[in-house]
Structure 1
């Protein structure tokens, strides 16, 4: 029974300590619910049309914000109807393809075949993937996946998905699938299953049943014959090209949403163990996936009393799930949660691998809860334990009584006052609102989202928080839309058309000023600077500086460091006043200044940073404080106020000590340009060299491309500087 092994202490103090350390690794479960809700509201803006529905899945959709969380999407075909009986009107509606779901005796549980009832359908992805087999028109899952892969030129097959790199430089798995609106007969046991502890609830079961399931383009796998000679990199598994897999991704999403905090944290621990400990062994990494661990958790919650799933028993619950995983490996059977006859080890894990993995994981299990200390994400836990030992016994390292080790710790996570809770919700809202990425260079896409947002606000009965989500998102999307219009205006030959686009762009940019204190004002100031209206640019730079001087407290949301921070004044001065999200963002939220690759708005003096942007990047984020000073320097230089330029250059130099290490190269480039404007060429070269060295160090640690390629922009700056002094 779980918890009996002394290495897995069933200790409430230890459980609380680990739970609090997990907040750093995977996030606060309560805040994750807020994030999930924000994402679900935003999904409604571009969820579906008549032909396709997009459903987010993977770790990010479940609320995880930990390194390695997958951001997956299901593209659900709405043009194809899946039935179990041949409808009387089949073929009459030429806009719909019809396929019939069957499960012959030779098809394993969890898999089906699809007979195409409309083989002459106008939809190519069905017609071209239909093959006649023994007199039946079967839809080939293999051909279906290849067809979609061909449509996505950069796509690579990854299981039932096509993995592609988006315009934002993110690897994303896209599963092209069909929708089955009824509940599959082979999963009826899950509906009627006798549950001692009433999880999931009857209401949730009925909700899941009403949504049906999805059908993925992947068949069951069997081992190839030992006589077959495998080529290098070729899989040893053979897949049936006419089988399809039943997928319950949407149901699983609802079940995860129903987790309490302890269950969510156990799930997080299992994912961390898999990513950072189990995967160190290549055999284990290849065979054990997070889906197996999620399935273990579903079964464990269903089969145990609710009283087990409380914070004080966190370690007990992890122990229980860990033991279940080892037990399944020893038995060679991993039952799918919805179709228990479906052994998910088949087609994934060979018999010899089962024994090997069982031995490896048993060795880790014998370490007890201390195996968690080997996970890099939980370094906060290790640090907290070390501090506790020093508190108890400063001159003796280890402690004789481990329970005192945990009891001595004080946590800042529990018993927070309402102001700090409100601050955390604000952090989640203002950071999450920008994570749903659309095609920022397409005016039609951006305008369609704005229209959908307004329609959603009018048609649906939304609460205050949902309304704020839509309003904040609308204001943020005006910025890329304005930049698109600015970009279009530069291509117009007729002055009247050019003026129309410029007027619309500046109208939006003036509204964007209220989306935060920094990016809106600095984008507007940059637009005026690029048009030569330097005094107007200075006006909005000073507006940003005046808000900073008030020092009410700020939320700083950095795309460069994927982090959100707040200063100590924010909870006291901003929270607890009943302010709306729109009020807060206009006086206390700061985003990076953003330059988009496809429509760059940036001073010519540092434009190489956008020109030399890597293909995998879609935007350049610049820290707002030094950029505002730099932009002011440029404006005063062209206005002829060199004394002011000199004063501001000293201010910019003093900012170096306040910068994050990753941002130093950008500030050095700004200082180099400033020195050039002032005629201090030796100083400019020195700053460029410092920028060069900092960018070199940055890319050695944070880039997969050859190191010299990442520094070319700085080298070009130096070349530009030296060119006037070279003889032609």
Structure 2
């Protein structure tokens, strides 16, 4: 709700975590639905196109499903909107009309975010470590014609009519990838039912959810341990089997005492599909999801493993899923409040807010949610979001250096900064230090930096990297259940220091870094940068040299730890090195910043060119 309040596109979370399963290897994928593009099921529907947020003429495509590839569709252009160029390379011209090109669309997306290193991963783009996928897609508010019979299909008690109606009203998503077995599939897009599937999983009872977890663990810990089989099945096939079984049997079968009975029903369903090399999509049964994946040439060994699971029974299954060396972890799990905290840190994240009105809209929404929420934890999360949005609001204010201190605007600075320092241990204090730096109060800045460094203990965790055993242990040692969630964050968590595009709080020396984009710096790294800049202004050469040496060591540590914004750290190091007079070393820093994975600091290239010109 908060993210989609501040962005033109609609963000949807999919993947295991979004469905409600936090298992080893569970991930969360982000789908960004482009609201500027309208997709209709047929031409007749286009006359109803009107969007209260889009007063301009919209770009409209109509779906043309392919009988040979029922899980895919073409998108034919029937109206080019005010901001869409029909001659653009994302459009492919055919004898039947103009169609949206998959490759052209993805190329356009990558061009819009050139400073981010994303590689194709199925229908998504992802970082090189493939930890989080980003899918850019479109929505049709109707189910496609070849799925139109799904709501009326005969079933027992599941899913409920309420869920069916909700799915039908939402429609489907369309993602940029064609069928693997068709070489010229550049204008075929995959029909996605991610939102529908999330609704279905959220409608599961407890036993269905446990069964889903068992199926996923079976794939990860038994089937995929065989190198010859690990690329044949995916968790999506197992989820599909569970959907079909849930629909076909009495829902009362899904009761806890019958958990393994339900599991083996799903296994039997999967075995029958592997035998025939045909896995029917839950919404479009004519779509064989095994096509070009499981064939008579490779299904024999997979059938052997699946049948062995069936024959060996429950005890062997449990021993395979939970080896004796890990059994103690089942009963010795983290306290529930720790699990909740870690889950929030793992999935939290939001879009950058660019307008002050959006900041106030978010704060109004979160305050309303907080007052209506009975859960203390969720109430604290709402308060956290309220405070966190202040880091955007404070940087959208006019630069404090040009403001007469008699004006109330300085009160806004202090109000937003005081809200933001409540989010975690130090990042808000560093923005406060930046405020005093840009107003020329260097000694105050240095005192705040000393305070921040005194709070940054080695066993604190960063929200970007909290989900590993070492950091979980550190977090567990630092907090206890009698603290509120906000109190736990204040003593145990540090967040990246974020400077928004055109930030009013960025030091003058780093203005170029926010001219075209945002930057994110780890707290200790930013401490040493600000310390160097202060000593540079104060003319304290020895302290300045020590601060630069500390900054250099810290940036090298960021690079060693593969911080996803290491390019930003290398760039600010280069700026400080250049200020010290060592242009060759500065050039090396900027050049190295351009070679980083993940997010590239756009100003690094400008800094390099400036040095070359000199």
- Tell me whether the two structures share a fold, i.e. TM-score over 0.5: yes
Shift of 1:344: 0.9
Shift of 1:592: 1.4
State how far apart, in whole Å, the 2-side matches of 1:219 and 1:206 are: 29
Kindly indicate whether the alpha-carbon contact (under 8 Å) linking 1:515 and 1:585 is maintained by their aligned counterparts in 2.
Answer: no
What are the residue-to-residue correspondences of 1:463-478 with 2, within 5 Å? 463-464=373-374, 469-478=381-390
Q: Aligned match of 1:561 in 463, 466, 489?
A: 466
For the pair 1:202 / 2:115, whether they are aligned, the reply is no
What are the residue-to-residue correspondences of 1:711-726 with 2, within 5 Å? none
**Match in the other structure for 1:383:** 325
State how far apart, in whole Å, the 2-side matches of 1:239 and 1:410 are: 49
Kindly indicate whether the alpha-carbon contact (under 8 Å) linking 1:596 and 1:618 is maintained by their aligned counterparts in 2.
Answer: yes
**Match in the other structure for 1:142:** 102
Kindly indicate whether the alpha-carbon contact (under 8 Å) linking 2:27 and 2:131 is maintained by their aligned counterparts in 1.
Answer: no
State how far apart, in whole Å, the 2-side matches of 1:208 and 1:695 are: 50
Kindly indicate whether the alpha-carbon contact (under 8 Å) linking 1:125 and 1:144 is maintained by their aligned counterparts in 2.
Answer: no
State how far apart, in whole Å, the 2-side matches of 1:476 and 1:537 are: 24
Q: SS of the residue aligned with 1:54?
A: strand
**Match in the other structure for 1:160:** 123
State how far apart, in whole Å, the 1-side matches of 2:434 and 2:166 are: 51
**Match in the other structure for 1:110:** 71
- Please list the CA deviations of residues 13-58 of structure 1 after superposition, one character each: whole Å capped at 9, or x if unmatched: xxxxxxxxxxxxxxxxxxxxxxxxxxxx434433x53xx4332222
Shift of 1:478: 1.6
Shift of 1:199: 1.0
**Match in the other structure for 1:72:** 30
**Match in the other structure for 2:588:** none
Q: Mean alpha-carbon deviation: is it higher for 238-247 or for 460-469?
A: 460-469
Shift of 1:342: 1.7
What are the residue-to-residue correspondences of 1:601-612 with 2, within 5 Å? none
How many residues matched?
549
Greater length-normalized contact order (CA 8 Å, ≥ 6 residues apart): 1
- Pair member with larger Rg: 1
For the pair 1:95 / 2:57, whether they are aligned, the reply is yes
Shift of 1:209: 1.2
Q: Mean alpha-carbon deviation: is it higher for 519-528 or for 60-69?
A: 519-528
Q: SS of the residue aligned with 1:352?
A: coil
Q: Give structure 1 stretches of 5+ with no counterpart.
A: 1-40, 223-236, 388-408, 549-553, 576-580, 640-675, 721-728
**Match in the other structure for 1:620:** 522
Q: SS of the residue aligned with 1:300?
A: helix
**Match in the other structure for 2:133:** 172
Shift of 1:544: 12
For the pair 1:431 / 2:345, whether they are aligned, the reply is yes
Kindly indicate whether the alpha-carbon contact (under 8 Å) linking 1:145 and 1:176 is maintained by their aligned counterparts in 2.
Answer: no
Kindly indicate whether the alpha-carbon contact (under 8 Å) linking 1:218 and 1:243 is maintained by their aligned counterparts in 2.
Answer: yes
Q: SS of the residue aligned with 1:255?
A: helix
Structure 1 residues 588, 116: closer, same or farther in 2, change over 3 A?
A: closer
Q: SS of the residue aligned with 1:203?
A: helix
Kindly indicate whether the alpha-carbon contact (under 8 Å) linking 1:592 and 1:622 is maintained by their aligned counterparts in 2.
Answer: no
Q: Mean alpha-carbon deviation: is it higher for 333-342 or for 359-368?
A: 359-368
Q: SS of the residue aligned with 2:351?
A: coil
Q: SS of the residue aligned with 1:124?
A: coil
Q: Aligned match of 1:56 in 2, 13, 21?
A: 13
TM-score normalised to the size of structure 2? Answer: 0.67
Shift of 1:127: 5.7
Q: Mean alpha-carbon deviation: is it higher for 202-211 or for 241-250?
A: 241-250
**Match in the other structure for 1:259:** 204
**Match in the other structure for 1:238:** 183
For the pair 1:509 / 2:417, whether they are aligned, the reply is yes
For the pair 1:124 / 2:69, whether they are aligned, the reply is no
Kindly indicate whether the alpha-carbon contact (under 8 Å) linking 1:595 and 1:620 is maintained by their aligned counterparts in 2.
Answer: yes
State how far apart, in whole Å, the 2-side matches of 1:91 and 1:190 are: 25
Q: Give structure 2 stretches of 5+ with no counterpart.
A: 581-614
Kindly indicate whether the alpha-carbon contact (under 8 Å) linking 1:335 and 1:343 is maintained by their aligned counterparts in 2.
Answer: yes
Shift of 1:252: 0.6
TM-score normalised to the size of structure 1? Answer: 0.58
Kindly indicate whether the alpha-carbon contact (under 8 Å) linking 2:281 and 2:289 is maintained by their aligned counterparts in 1.
Answer: yes
